[in-house]
Amino acid sequence: MKFRAERDALVEAMATAARAAATRGSALPALSGIRMELVEDRLHLAGSDLDLTVQVEVAVVGHEPGVCVVPARLATDIVRALEPGAVTFQVDGGEAQISSGRSQFAVRALPAEEFLRLPVVSGDAVSLDAASLVSALHQVVPAASKDDARPILTGVLFEAEAAGLRLVSTDSYRLALRDLPGTTLLAEGQKVLVPSRALGELARVLSGADQVELRLGADEASFGVVPKEGGSVRLTTRLLEGEFPNYRQLIPPHYPNRLSIAKAPFLDAVRRVKLLARDAAPVRLSLGAESIELSAITQDVGQAREDVEAKYEGAEMVVAFNPEFLIDGVEACPGDEVRIETLDALKPATVRPSEGVDYLYLLMPVRVS
């Protein structure tokens, strides 16, 4: 196997595939590597940890076809460290030789026969607007749980709605919901649960793409992307099994208390006050008619207070939130103004844009004395 490629294109393809390579101890050492297969002038790269597989195709100047598996992180770091320009990659025996200019490296290859068979999802292809999907992913993926002890909550629910597609995620402390009207991806009543880790990687590779092709199988989902700079990327992930929580019963039909506030000044104020919210201390919002007061108190450290202009309708109260969770929800709202609606200081509040109904963020308050 031998080919020549431009360093920047090669390292981008290798880094993308390497993000799916197994990083923990695996029964198959080859899964810690990148599988590279040269067919004429096309180089096919793949990384996988069994749950997530990323395949990349890039144009190169091919000399000798072949297949090899190289250590993902090491090989990628080597190519990244080379001077800009042409890189020659050659496999001789059990060794991969990487050279450019005066630099020469030799890396022991991994057993290619141990790399898994690459997945092929045979479901019907549906094309989606990449920009709309990546916007939705940035809004819902952060709210998914990172705790593998409850695997259902580490996924994002894709659910068919009458108006289109709905994405929902929750870690039991907050919930993010985004509707994509007019997106007919699933059959009526159908829903699937996609791992949030896979969707986070998908959002990365969607950058610069116009369309994404989705195929749904019985237990896998495959996203095909053609970036503007050329080449192609396909991300395949196993779907999660189990019943997602009934999120609809958590969203109250109406709220008696409504705060309308400019998004940027509010975020700046929360970030400043958060400096004194140490040791899991919340940020408190004292809600009044013409303005709100933000405050944070950490015993034996200090306190911070700041007034922010706002419009508030409802009963005066003090409600407290985890500042990081609050910032995530407000940042995800499009537009220049957000609404925060509450029932009382102990029941879930919603954060949503002042205009538009496609995004909603449900946040549990923190009980304070």
Q: What is the pLDDT of residues 352-369, one digit of tens each?
A: 999 878 999 999 999 987
Q: What is the pLDDT of residue 228?
A: 67
Q: What is the pLDDT of residue 186?
A: 77
Q: Containing domain of residue 292, as a range?
A: 251-363
Interval 48-96: pLDDT, tens: 998 999 999 999 999 999 999 999 999 999 999 999 999 999 999 899 9
Containing 199, the helix (H) or strand (E) segment is: helix 196-205
Dihedral over alpha carbons 49, 54, 58, 62 (to 10 degrees): 30
Look at 14 and 123; give whichever has higher pLDDT. 14
Q: Which residues contact 289 (CB under 8 A, 6 or more apart)?
A: 312, 316
Residues 356 and 339 placed together within one structural domain of the fold: yes
Residues 318 and 351 placed together within one structural domain of the fold: yes
Examine the pLDDT at 165 and tell me if it is beyond 80.
Answer: yes
CB 210 within 8 A of CB 225: no
Residues 143 and 236 placed together within one structural domain of the fold: yes
Examine the pLDDT at 252 and tell me if it is beyond 90.
Answer: no
Out of 181-185, 310-314, 344-348, which region has the weakest mean confidence (pLDDT)? 181-185
Examine the pLDDT at 20 and tell me if it is beyond 70.
Answer: yes
Residues 144 and 235 placed together within one structural domain of the fold: yes
Dihedral over alpha carbons 33, 34, 39, 40 (to 10 degrees): -110
Q: For residue 231, what pLDDT band results from cuts at 50, 70 and 90? A: confident
- Dihedral sign (CA 165, 169, 172, 175): negative
Q: What is the pLDDT of residue 25?
A: 60
Q: For residue 121, what pLDDT band results from cuts at 50, 70 and 90? A: confident
- 251 vs 265: CA distance, rounded Å: 27
Interval 290-343: pLDDT, tens: 779 999 999 889 999 999 999 999 999 999 999 999 999 999 999 999 999 999
SS3 343: coil
Residue closest to 319 by CA, chosen among 347, 339, 338? 347
Where is the domain boundary, 201, 231, 248?
248
Residues 140 and 56 placed together within one structural domain of the fold: no
Quick check: is 73 in a domain?
yes
- In the sheet with 42-48, reading across from the earlier edge strand, the strands are 66-71, 33-39, 42-48, 52-59, 232-238, 220-227, 209-216, 125-129
Quick check: is 369 in a domain?
no
When the pLDDT of each residue in the chain is averaged and rounded to a whole number, the result is 92
Residue with tokens 């706002």: 310
Q: For residue 27, what pLDDT band results from cuts at 50, 70 and 90? A: low
- 146 vs 292: CA distance, rounded Å: 33
Q: What is the pLDDT of residue 229?
A: 65
Angstrom distances, CA of residue 298 to CA of 232, 278, 306, 307 = 51, 6, 16, 19
Residues 244 and 305 placed together within one structural domain of the fold: no
